[in-house]
Structure 1
Amino acid sequence: MPAKTKKRGNNEGSIYKRKDGLCCGQITIGRDENGRQKRQYFYGKTRQEVADKIAKALNDLANGIYVEPARMLLKDWLHTWLWEYKKQTLRPSTFKDYLCYIERHINPTIGHYKLKELRPEHLQTLYNVKYQEGLSISTIKQIHTVLHSALDQALKNGLVNRNVSEATTLPKGKPKREIRILSLEEQQRFIAALERERLKTAFLVELASGLRIGELLALRWKDVNFKDGYIEVRRSLQRVRIFDGGNSKKTALAFQEPKTEAGKRIVPLPPVIIEELKQHRKKQLEEKLKAGALYEDNDLVFATELGTPIDPRNFERLFYRIREKAGLDKSVNFHALRHTYATRLLEANEHPKVVQELLGHKDISTTLNIYSHVMPEIKKAAAMKLNSLFEDIKTKGNHS
């Protein structure tokens, strides 16, 4: 005799696979005003994923904290999406950025809307308001990325019928400000201002490599090849937010791998800079001996006098002081040193593809867009190289 099928309780969900490959389950979450059962559906790529969602919902129901999707606010869903779906896959710095976009920009403006009632015009208003407030186009695009991803997950989960972010139009940016680079004379003034500075070598390496500030401060001595004259970029130092399950505002310094494979790269250095690094290492060893047991050896090329990582914010403050000493205006930020490095290479007729690889850009279009101000001169120089090929034609024409 066949075994009897166990009767399911009202709150036990059956899970099945749909034709589109998604698994689906449902539970009873209560009754409506007419006494009819209210059912809630859950979706996932695997049966286990759906089972976990059902278990959480049943637990929330038992504890009286379950929120029906029809009543769920956008801010509630963004919290769930960020912590349950993205926390484990995002870099700490990216997670910090996403949380900032949500808390500072999205929730105060449209977080109070019910998820199911969210319309394209709500998002459009958000983008327009932020643009009028002077928020950069790149930041507005990041806010849009957060909303699009969160609503896409809500769509997969059956919480909404469509992704309303796809029906919005992002504001068009104003003409980009021309990037600031140091003239040759300004570069010499800056270098002269580095004399007697403890971290003089760090700024010289920057001018000779164009590293991002976090990459520069994350360099280890094992990343420096004195014999062949290059440094290897493998990681970056970032200030990230610490999360313990709550909304902690604490931050800490952390070493992270580059966002893309292009970020991992080898950057050759001029012999004079390699020599500077050797001298810098000798001085660092003297500091280590002086500090004794207090010294924390992290193998960092550029560290505090006790060997600990240098906070990028403190390093920028040092840069501002040196900038003032050199008599440079405030339009020169630290990133201008990176721009100066790239511009000098292009001015020396280095191929843009090589410059892209040295800077760690994922796509050459990024390099070409940023340094478009140099390209006309490069094109002109290329045309002049062809001039000699036509000299004979000119000569023959004069004799005909």
Structure 2
Amino acid sequence: MNQYNEKVKEGKISSTTVRYIHAVIHGALEQALKNNLVAQNVSEATTLPQERKKEIHTLTMAQITQLFSAIENDRLFPAIMLELTTGLRRGELLGLHWRDVDLNAGILTVRRNLVRIKNHEAKEGEKKTKLVFQEPKTEASRRTIPIAQQALEELKRHKARQEQEKRLAGPSYQDNDLVFCKEKGLPIDPRNFTRHFDILLKRAGIPHIRFHDTRHTFATLMLELGEHPKVVQQILGHSKIAVTLDTYTHVPLDLEKRAAEKLNQALIERKIPPSQEGI
């Protein structure tokens, strides 16, 4: 058990991974204790490594405008715009099918993720991993969210271009009904999509951020614009509002200051006129 912290110090595993491992070991020993297979649950004597939050880097509105301007002719520009206006997870974005999108109502529904997993059935010479579509892990992740008008218009143009790609490819096109795919219809590998995103950032002269930080950017902007955390939670697909609030603790303080300013202004506006004092 003491090896937990040693592994973290060596940089071999993260503190989050240690906590997952500990949860599995603790649960197994707890069941063994109930079955009288062990005298005690020794995992309870373990001191877990302190969980460190990953630093969040977000784009400003000015940087988003700069990015959009620099990449508007890129084939995957619609994907980046949709991401920054919905906060979808990468797998959700790449797993989006046209049947999940209602262009008339301006909404989309998250029903699956595109992920790369180990291919346990791989034979010699075959790839050890494969792309698969998986259902969301939680009910909160299965959600319907609105599409911003600009993103909606861009999606309509993207769909028209995609139809042209189908015609040009002819029989070689593999229609998987994917909103964002390769030129011949195949799914885009999430890792390749991230690499392309990195290239787009460089092209726009924007400092590097993780693709997942686009999700953080969306959430941060929504909160800074005064959107209620509950609404942001539902759009992001967080199971609990505590997750949203805990992740974006850097935003509420600013909102609290703004709320205090609003209250102060309201008190000033409703201040009793001097002529009525003492009545």
Task: State which of 72, 77, 90 in structure 2 corresponds to 1:195.
Answer: 72
Please say if 1:276 is aligned against 2:154: yes
Write the deviation string for residues 243-264 of structure 1: whole angstroms up to 9, x where unpaired. Answer: 2499x98111111111110001
- Give the corresponding residue for 1:238: 115
Task: State which of 61, 64, 73 in structure 2 corresponds to 1:184.
Answer: 61
- Give the corresponding residue for 2:246: 369
Aligned partners of 2:173 and 2:245: how far apart in 1? 44
Aligned partners of 1:205 and 1:287: how far apart in 2? 21
- Give the corresponding residue for 2:7: 130
Contact persistence 2:173–2:185 (CA under 8 A): yes
Which structure is larger by alpha-carbon Rg, 1 or 2?
Answer: 1
**Could you tell me which amino acid in structure 1 is paired with residue 201 of structure 2?**
R
- Give the corresponding residue for 2:224: 347
SS at match of 2:115: strand
Please say if 1:336 is aligned against 2:213: yes
Write the deviation string for residues 179-237 of structure 1: whole angstroms up to 9, x where unpaired. Answer: 11101221112112212211110101001100000000000001101111111111111
SS at match of 1:238: strand
Write the deviation string for residues 90-112 of structure 1: whole angstroms up to 9, x where unpaired. Answer: xxxxxxxxxxxxxxxxxxxxxxx
Aligned partners of 2:109 and 2:139: how far apart in 1? 13
Moved more, 133-142 or 343-352: 133-142
SS at match of 1:261: coil
Change (3 A) 1:156 1:290: farther
Write the deviation string for residues 35-76 of structure 1: whole angstroms up to 9, x where unpaired. Answer: xxxxxxxxxxxxxxxxxxxxxxxxxxxxxxxxxxxxxxxxxx
Aligned partners of 1:386 and 1:275: how far apart in 2? 39
Shift of residue 169 of structure 1? 1.7
Alignment of 1:134-283 (within 5 A): 134=11, 135-152=13-30, 154-155=32-33, 159-174=37-52, 176-244=53-121, 250-283=128-161
**Could you tell me which amino acid in structure 2 is paired with residue 236 of structure 1?**
N
TM-score under structure 2 normalisation?
A: 0.90
Contact persistence 2:89–2:215 (CA under 8 A): yes
Alignment of 1:22-33 (within 5 A): none
Aligned partners of 2:51 and 2:189: how far apart in 1? 32
Write the deviation string for residues 272-318 of structure 1: whole angstroms up to 9, x where unpaired. Answer: 21111111011111111111111111110001111111110010010
Alignment of 1:47-66 (within 5 A): none
Moved more, 354-363 or 145-154: 145-154
- Give the corresponding residue for 1:298: 176
Aligned partners of 2:120 and 2:39: how far apart in 1? 32
SS at match of 2:271: helix
Shift of residue 386 of structure 1? 2.2
RMSD of aligned Cα (Å): 2.3
Aligned partners of 1:394 and 1:132: how far apart in 2? 63
**Could you tell me which amino acid in structure 2 is paired with residue 384 of structure 1?**
E
SS at match of 1:239: strand
Aligned partners of 1:168 and 1:155: how far apart in 2? 17
Moved more, 192-201 or 142-151: 142-151
- Give the corresponding residue for 1:360: 237
Aligned partners of 2:29 and 2:74: how far apart in 1? 51
Matched residues, number: 274
Aligned partners of 1:151 and 1:216: how far apart in 2? 39
Alignment of 1:41-52 (within 5 A): none
Shift of residue 387 of structure 1? 2.7
The percentage of counterpart residues that share the same residue type is 48
Change (3 A) 1:160 1:295: farther
Aligned partners of 2:77 and 2:101: how far apart in 1? 17
**Could you tell me which amino acid in structure 2 is paired with residue 303 of structure 1?**
C
- Give the corresponding residue for 1:321: 199
Aligned partners of 1:199 and 1:146: how far apart in 2? 40
Aligned partners of 2:153 and 2:6: how far apart in 1? 53
Higher relative contact order (CA 8 A, sep 6+): 2
TM-score under structure 1 normalisation?
A: 0.64
Shift of residue 268 of structure 1? 0.4
**Could you tell me which amino acid in structure 2 is paired with residue 255 of structure 1?**
F
